[in-house]
Structure 1
């Protein structure tokens, strides 16, 4: 289901993370760009709030802690995240690039889907460059 208008949870809808029922009190929709259609999120509001608070910091932590160069290259390929994402609970339809807004049924308010702590513009570019320094050029480490 997708729409230009907000909806309500479907009968029997359940959060993929907590397995709790999704009701009008914890129902969330997300809007992807550029289609701008609203879609039902498969997570309840508390899980979405936790993702907003943690996804950026977790990304930076993974980049700094990984000892696998292949994983590091994958993490750095798209750069530090700006917007919330989850391929299971908030899949992007073909043609859409990222989630730009969230809507909470609990207060009927739309809000930006920007992650807490996320950087944009030149600040993001500088962080991306700094994190890229963790990459080891092939052939520069012993045993390469």
Structure 2
């Protein structure tokens, strides 16, 4: 299968959007009864497991549907899992889907981080536990020329 002329999600860290303005973002809090779609654990202010995500290009912040530990696990494992599946797959349909999508660069999950129409990817995360905003680039995901080399190999 030939790679597409434009690699999906091919951006460098320099392409990650900065805050929409110099004013600090206003973040929310978990709603009463909110629970993680993965673990079914409650998401509460007391547990400090609430996360918000920002999508591009709208730069809107929305509550993640997963708790903090699930979000961090996805950041650590999504790229590695994609590589493992490409290396081990013996199913042509699965391989076609994996290669069509290309190497993932940013956190993605349609259930935990649904995107509004027109948005392309999750670019930032906000953790209620410490009030920090962090990038949503996957651990180990190559950028730029390194990503292209992986795609071509």
TM-score relative to the length of structure 1: 0.86
Aligned to 1:8, which of 14, 29, 34? 29
Aligned to 1:36, which of 51, 59, 76? 59
TM-fit CA distance, 1:43: 0.5
What is aligned with 2:98?
A: 75
Matching of residue 96 in structure 1 with residue 127 in structure 2: no
Which one scores higher on RCO, CA 8 angstroms, separation ≥ 6?
A: 2
* Paired residue total: 127
Structure 1, gaps ≥5 residues long: 131-144
- C-alpha separation between the residues in 2 aligned to 1:78 and 1:58? 14
- C-alpha separation between the residues in 1 aligned to 2:149 and 2:55? 26
What is aligned with 1:23?
A: 44
TM-fit CA distance, 1:5: 2.7
Give the number of the structure whose alpha-carbon radius of gyration is greater. Answer: 1
After superposition, the C-alpha distances for 1:18-75 in whole angstroms (9 at most, x for unaligned) are 1110012100000000000000001000000000000000000001111112211111
Structure 2, gaps ≥5 residues long: 1-24
What is aligned with 1:138?
A: none
In structure 1, the residue corresponding to 2:72 is in which secondary structure? Answer: helix
TM-score relative to the length of structure 2: 0.81
Alpha-carbon RMSD across the aligned residues, in angstroms, is 0.9
What does 1:98-113 align with in structure 2 at a 5 Å threshold? Answer: 98-113=121-136
